[in-house]
């Protein structure tokens, strides 16, 4: 069967072989006359070919090994997927049915889809870009070496590296460190991130929302004083030069005075709501606004001891407000491993690892393109972009397809990066990981795991078949 | 065929043990009659397997040395590595298991017992257990009423670690009740500009959340309900679970309680949650069992000075004492194995072990003075004070798919409570569905 197939599939090579055969046959004479014309396809044509039983004999060990290591496991996995966790109860298609209803599995199906759509195309694109660009620079070998280097690192180690890169704390994770550095260059941080009034009823001020503006609960009539006790930051976070807290100065007849200070005595104690000069400090530089009917009537800044005074206010009552800019929390960077970014973040690490592989293959393809075609296009007046788009790309297409399909198969079974960087987070899970989790990673349900494995197998099949078809066509 | 042979051998061993019993007089205490001379087991070879390596292994070997000296037996130690089942499984299949193995979870014991791979403990060992352990621990070591296992080393999980200088700065004292912790300690710390907690709620570290839950649940619902929930005799939608989750949400539901807020907590890993408190001083308190001392050891903080503990505060009437621990089982029924099991059940073995440090025993007759440092003494007293109410870590009693798998069951369910504290019902429904799935078999 196999030998017949091979011959049928590759008539030209058979034809090529036929010539020496004929010569050999002619020397021996006799049977040579019976040699069929090339491509005839009769398996018994060349009597010099070994008999098929011998071919089978030689193939047998390989077939046995393949059968034991590939065919049998596949069949057993299919069989096992019809049984429950213990392996003794037949459940029919229940495992497959519960795949369709189990949230975690559905998420992993979705993530696998994202991976297949995004991963291979981005890696191929990156590889193409690097390959085309490095063709034109002098130190391309060094560049290629660097881009290819991640391939030399085990995926587990790459995962650990990116786990660190994506660390939330900008002091640890380089991704967030970079983002925060850029962000802070363009917008300066607020003076008192995290400061807030106590959340008890006896404070005169209240904060709106998280890190929102702080304002007096009641409007303050002109001529009165207002106390703004805040907590939630430590002494050493106050700006240098902050002086001991003081009670609000006497209010002018046409104004409002007040004090904003850190109302927390280290080690406890101190009177709440009163500035204890010996232990508490003002909050200098705090922007304070007097608001009437939603309009800011006046604005001022607190002094070193935290006191402030509004002058020349028209009669009436004002809400004293500390705008939110005072309290804006420090920018913490992106939530890389949070719900939305976790899969894209892992895909980026995948690109980092595989771009070099794609680049090397595509560069090899590029080198094989005939220079004449490119030069002819250039002579005809094509721009570099047109040359790339109309000549290079079509000639390179077979290589791109090989790289792409290889990556698709690779992405379908992606495991290590997701396992390490995702750290078991089900929102990052992909089918291959889910299969492992269900069967060995604690789920202990190898029936379910087998079902997932079969689905994965079916998904890989089209890519495999297209690869095999193309190999055949190329050999043809 | 091999089966028959083994059975015969076992029978012969049983007979031997019986004669030995008749002669020696099974005491179960620490004395052991004429065995002082150390010849009772002369020439007997015993193999013990446990996952311990490094200092833990050395300490255990000292205990084995004492047994050798006492009985004249030769004991060899084999380390199983982290995955005990991967080591023992093939040896059990091959019919050549070690005499005694120490398993990290009771679940594994039940698994082996179900396959008839364990040997029930003989009367002598059982009476030693009766004398030294509360009935709960005996029950824990039993499968279908037959005693198989003995909890030899425990991890204490009803502890919260705190940084003393943070507490001093804010002027707060360790809280006595969960409510105090949620409404006084944490807000006061926050007022002082100190983040109250770090929380390790990353998928792979969400076992810390199960420990929070177990402590609150044991404290509120009491040991009986705790046992029922562990066995899934009451559903996860039970009102007692709702109450425990409502209690947890008093702390979990406020992002300002955690370093890095909710996003930080959901990515928090256990190791860094401890070092973030004690090395980077990002927060004041962190949940961690007695084993967190090892993590603190990597920082400059000193256990007992800069890093102290307070008992997990009561959320109800029971003082919670949740323990994890390793269970010793006999894989061969011979005199050596049973004698060793008996020895391990005695306070005598415990005292040697305790004196070496890094050890905590559920043995009720082991004196707190046996422990070398004040911190461990405090843990031991806490465990003994809880008496019959002490319980084994619930998540390790449930099927692994429910209670011990990152991203699944109880771990992820409680993690989603941190994520979405307002929807307790959804969390309960999810847990109940997962539990039904896991307990099915």
Closest partner residue to A198 among B191, B204, B269, by Cβ? B191
Query: What is the nearest CA distance from A462 to chain B, expressed in angstroms?
Result: 31
Residue B53's pLDDT is 84
Share of chain B above pLDDT 70, in %: 91
CB pairs under 8 A between A and B: 89
Position B31 in a domain: no
Q: In the predicted model, what is the mean pLDDT of chain A?
A: 84
Examine the domain organization and report whether B43 and B109 are in the same domain. yes
Q: Has residue B4 got a pLDDT over 50?
A: no
CB contact under 8 A, B408 and A426: yes
Please count the structural domains in chain B: 2
Which residue spans of chain A are classified as CATH 1.10.3720.10? Answer: 94-167+336-475
Are B256 and B352 members of one domain? no
Together in a domain, B84 and B123: yes
Same domain, B217 and B282: yes
Strands B45-50 and B149-156: unpaired
Please report whether residue B131 resides in a domain.
yes
Q: What residue in A sits closest to B192 (Cα-Cα)?
A: A232
What is the mean pLDDT of the segment spanning B370-378? 87
Greatest CA separation found in chain A? 131
Given phi > 0 = left and psi -120 to 50 = alpha, else beta, which region is A41?
left
Q: What is the pLDDT of residues B215-237, one digit of tens each?
A: 999 999 999 999 999 999 999 99
* Distance, first Cα to last Cα, chain B: 31
Contacts B266 to A, Cβ<8 Å: 338
Does B408 contact A at CB distance below 8 Å?
yes
Instruction: Say yes or no to pLDDT of B250 above 80.
Output: yes
Tell me the residue range of the domain where B111 lies.
Answer: 36-155+325-359+373-385
Same domain, B268 and B338: no
Of the candidates A237, A267, A337, the beta carbon closest to that of B169 is on: A267
Domain covering A205-326, topology: Immunoglobulin-like (2.60.40)
How far is residue A86's CA from residue B114's CA, in Å, rounded to a whole number?
A: 13
Comparing alpha-carbon positions, the chain A residue that sits nearest to B196 is A232
> Is the minimum CB–CB distance between B202 and chain A shorter than 8 Å?
yes
| Res. B239 pLDDT band, cuts 50 70 90 | very high
Asked if A422 lies within 8 A of B203 by C-beta distance, the reply is yes
| pLDDT at residue number A43 | 52
B251 and B119 housed in the same domain: no
For the cut 70, the answer to whether the pLDDT of residue A215 exceeds it is yes
Does residue B61 belong to any structural domain of this protein? Answer: yes
Q: Which of B284, B407, B420 to mutate to test the interface with A (most CBs of A within 10 A)?
A: B407
User: Are residue B168 and residue B285 in the same domain, yes or no?
Assistant: yes
pTM: 0.78
Chain A closest CA to B437's CA: distance in Å?
10
Q: In terms of pLDDT, which residue wins out, A13 or A210?
A: A210
- Is B116 found in the same domain as B42? yes
Q: Please give, rounded to a whole number of angstroms, the shortest distance from the CA of B359 to a CA of chain A.
A: 28
Cβ–Cβ < 8 Å for A420, A160? yes
- Whether residue B434 lies within 8 A of chain A, CB to CB, comes out as no
| pLDDT above 50 for B26 | no
On chain B, the residues whose CB falls within 8 A of the CB of A335 are 263
Q: Are B217 and B240 in contact (CB under 8 A)?
A: yes
**Residue B35 pLDDT more than 60?**
no
For residues B431 and B401, is the Cβ–Cβ distance under 8 A?
no
Q: What is the pLDDT of residue B212?
A: 96
Taking chain A, what is the end-to-end CA distance rounded to the nearest angstrom? 19
Chain B positions touching A269 (Cβ under 8 A) are: 171
HEC per residue, B97-123: CCCEEEECCHHHHHHHHHCCCCCCCCH
Position A19 confidence tier, pLDDT thresholds 50, 70, 90? very low
Whether residue B12 lies inside any domain: the answer is no
**In the structure, what pLDDT confidence band is assigned to residue A27 with cuts at 50, 70 and 90?**
very low
B129 lies in the same domain as B274:
no
B366 falls within a domain: no
Tell me which chain A residues have a C-beta less than 8 angstroms from the C-beta of B187.
199
Among residues of chain B, what percentage have pLDDT more than 90? Answer: 54
Let me know: does B128 contact B346? Beta carbons within 8 Å: yes
Which of B107, B169, B191 would best serve as a mutation to test chain A binding (most A beta carbons within 10 A)? B191
Q: Is B349 on the interface with A (CB under 8 A)?
A: no
State whether B105 and B169 are in the same domain. Answer: no
Q: Which domain CATH number covers B171?
A: 3.40.190.10
User: What pLDDT score was predicted for residue A138?
Assistant: 82
Residues B420 and B350 in one domain: no
Architecture of domain A94-167+336-475: Orthogonal Bundle (1.10)
For residue A442, the model assigns a pLDDT of: 65
Chain A residues with CB within 8 Å of chain B CB = 84-86, 104, 168-169, 194, 198-199, 231-235, 237, 264-269, 332, 335, 337-338, 422-426, 429, 437, 441-445
Averaged pLDDT of chain B: 86
Long-range contact pairs involving B238-242 (C-beta distance under 8 Å, separation at least 24):
B241/B217, B241/B428, B241/B431, B242/B424, B242/B425, B242/B428
Q: Quick one: pLDDT at residue B304? A: 86
CB atoms within 10 A of CB A312: 10
- Distance between CA atoms of B351 and B366, rounded to whole angstroms? 7
Residue B191 belongs to a domain: yes
Among the partner-chain residues B193, B267, B400, the one whose CB lies closest to the CB of A168 is B267
CATH 2.60.40 intervals, chain A: 205-326
| CA closest to A338 among chain B residues | B263
Cβ atoms of B91 and B98 within 8 Å: the answer is yes
At A426-447, the pLDDT tens digits run 889 999 999 988 887 766 788 9
B107 in contact with A at a CB cutoff of 8 Å? no
Higher pLDDT, A408 or A209: A408
In a domain, B21, yes or no: no
Contact B312, B158 (CB under 8 A): yes
Range B350-365 average pLDDT: 88
pLDDT tens column, B54-88: 888 999 999 999 999 999 999 999 988 777 887 88
Q: Among A232, A338, A429, select the one facing B190 at the smallest CB separation.
A: A232
B433 and chain A in contact, CB less than 8 A: no
Nearest CA in chain B to A425: B203
pLDDT band for position A42 (50/70/90)? low
Q: Is A194's CB within 8 Å of B193's CB?
A: yes
Is the Cβ–Cβ distance between B353 and B61 less than 8 Å?
Answer: no
User: CB B441 to CB A443 under 8 A?
Assistant: no
Residues B221 and B345 in one domain: no
Span A176-208, pLDDT tens digits: 999 999 988 888 778 888 888 988 878 888 888
Q: Is B7 domain-assigned?
A: no
Angle of helix B335-345 versus helix B347-355 axis, rounded to 10: 70
Cα B32 from chain centroid (whole Å): 29
């Amino acid at each position: 069967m196999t030998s017949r197939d091979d011959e049928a599939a590759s008539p030209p090579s058979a034809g090529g072989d036929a010539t020496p055969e004929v010569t050999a046959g002619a020397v021996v004479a006799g049977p040579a006359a019976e040699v069929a014309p090339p491509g005839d396809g009769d398996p018994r044509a060349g009597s010099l070919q070994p008999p098929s039983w011998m071919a089978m004999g030689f193939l047998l060990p390989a077939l046995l090994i393949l059968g034991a290591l590939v065919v049998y496991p596949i069949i057993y996995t299919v069989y096992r997927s019809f049984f429950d966790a213990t392996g003794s109860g037949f459940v029919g298609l229940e495992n497959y049915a519960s795949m369709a209803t189990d949230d975690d599995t559905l998420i992993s199906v979705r993530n696998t889809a994202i991976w297949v759509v995004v991963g291979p195309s981005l890696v191929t694109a990156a590889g193409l870009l690097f390959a085309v660009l490095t063709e034109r620079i002098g130190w391309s070998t060094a560049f290629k070496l660097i881009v290819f280097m991640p391939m030399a690192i085990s995926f587990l180690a790459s995962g650990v590296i990116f786990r660190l890169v994506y660390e939330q704390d900008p002091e640890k994770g380089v991704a967030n460190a970079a983002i925060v550095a850029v962000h802070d260059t363009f917008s300066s941080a607020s003076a008192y991130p995290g400061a807030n009034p106590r959340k008890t009823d006896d404070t005169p001020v209240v904060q709106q929302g998280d890190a929102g503006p702080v304002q007096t609960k009641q409007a303050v009539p002109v001529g009165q004083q207002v106390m703004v006790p805040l907590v939630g930051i430590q002494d050493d976070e106050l700006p240098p030069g902050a002086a001991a807290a003081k009670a609000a100065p006497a209010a002018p007849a046409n104004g409002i005075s007040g004090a904003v200070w850190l109302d927390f005595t280290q080690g406890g104690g101190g009177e709440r709501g009163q500035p204890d000069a010996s232990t508490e400090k003002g909050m200098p530089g705090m922007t304070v606004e007097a608001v009437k009917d939603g309009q800011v009537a006046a604005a001022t800044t607190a002094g070193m001891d935290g006191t402030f005074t509004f002058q020349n206010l028209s009669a009436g009552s004002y809400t004293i407000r500390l705008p939110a800019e005072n309290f804006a929390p420090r920018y913490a960077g992106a939530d890389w491993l949070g719900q939305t970014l976790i899969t894209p973040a892992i895909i980026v690490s995948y690109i980092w690892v595989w771009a070099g592989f794609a680049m090397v293959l595509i560069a090899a393809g590029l080198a094989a393109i005939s220079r004449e075609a490119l030069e002819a296009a250039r002579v005809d007046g094509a721009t570099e972009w047109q040359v790339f788009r109309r000549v290079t790309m079509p000639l390179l297409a077979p290589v791109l397809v090989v790289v792409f399909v290889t990556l698709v198969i690779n992405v379908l079974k992606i495991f290590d990066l997701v396992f390490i960087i995702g750290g078991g987070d089900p929102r990052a899970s992909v089918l291959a990981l889910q299969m492992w989790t269900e069967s060995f990673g604690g789920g202990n349900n190898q029936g379910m795991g087998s079902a997932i494995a079969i689905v994965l197998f079916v998904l890989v099949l089209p890519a495999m078949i297209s690869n095999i078809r193309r190999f055949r066509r190329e050999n043809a | 065929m091999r089966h028959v042979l083994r059975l015969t051998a076992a029978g012969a061993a049983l007979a031997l043990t019986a004669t030995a019993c008749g002669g020696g007089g099974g005491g179960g205490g620490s004395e052991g009659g004429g065995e002082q001379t150390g010849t009772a087991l002369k020439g007997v070879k015993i193999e013990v397997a446990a996952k311990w390596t490094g200092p833990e292994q050395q300490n255990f070997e000292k205990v084995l040395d004492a047994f050798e000296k006492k009985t004249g037996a030769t004991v060899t130690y084999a380390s199983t590595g982290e995955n005990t089942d991967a080591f023992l499984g093939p040896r059990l299949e091959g019919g050549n298991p070690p005499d005694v193995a120490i398993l990290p979870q009771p679940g594994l014991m039940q698994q082996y017992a179900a396959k008839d791979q364990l040997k029930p403990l003989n009367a002598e060992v059982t009476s030693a257990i009766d004398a030294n352990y509360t009935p709960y621990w005996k029950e824990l070591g039993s499968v279908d009423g037959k005693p198989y296992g003995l909890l030899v080393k425990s991890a204490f999980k009803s502890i919260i670690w705190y940084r003393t200088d943070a507490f001093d700065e804010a002027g707060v004292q360790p809280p006595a009740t969960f409510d105090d912790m949620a409404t006084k300690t944490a807000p006061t710390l926050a007022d002082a500009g100190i983040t109250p907690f770090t929380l390790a709620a990353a998928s792979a570290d969400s076992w810390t959340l199960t420990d929070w839950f177990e402590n609150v649940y044991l404290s509120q619902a009491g040991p009986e309900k705790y046992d029922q929930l562990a066995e899934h005799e009451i559903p996860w939608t039970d009102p007692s679970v709702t109450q425990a989750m409502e209690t947890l949400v008093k702390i979990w539901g406020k992002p300002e309680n955690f370093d890095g807020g909710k996003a930080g907590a959901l990515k928090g890993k256990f190791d860094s949650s401890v070092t973030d408190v004690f090395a980077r001083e990002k927060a004041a308190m962190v949940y961690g069992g007695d084993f967190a001392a090892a993590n603190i050891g990597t920082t400059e903080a000193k256990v007992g000075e800069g890093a102290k503990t307070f008992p997990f505060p009561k959320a109800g009437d029971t003082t919670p004492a949740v323990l994890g621990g390793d269970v010793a089982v006999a894989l061969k029924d011979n005199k050596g194995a049973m004698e060793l099991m008996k020895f391990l059940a005695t306070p005598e073995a415990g005292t040697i072990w305790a004196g070496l440090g890094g050890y905590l025993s559920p043995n009720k007759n082991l004196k707190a003075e046996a422990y070398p440092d004040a911190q461990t003494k405090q843990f031991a007293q806490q465990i003994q004070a809880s008496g019959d109410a002490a319980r084994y870590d619930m998540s390790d009693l449930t099927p692994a798919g429910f209670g011990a798998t990152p991203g699944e069951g109880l771990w992820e369910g409680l993690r989603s409570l941190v994520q979405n504290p307002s929807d307790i019902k959804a969390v309960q429904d999810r847990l109940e569905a997962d539990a039904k799935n896991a307990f099915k078999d």
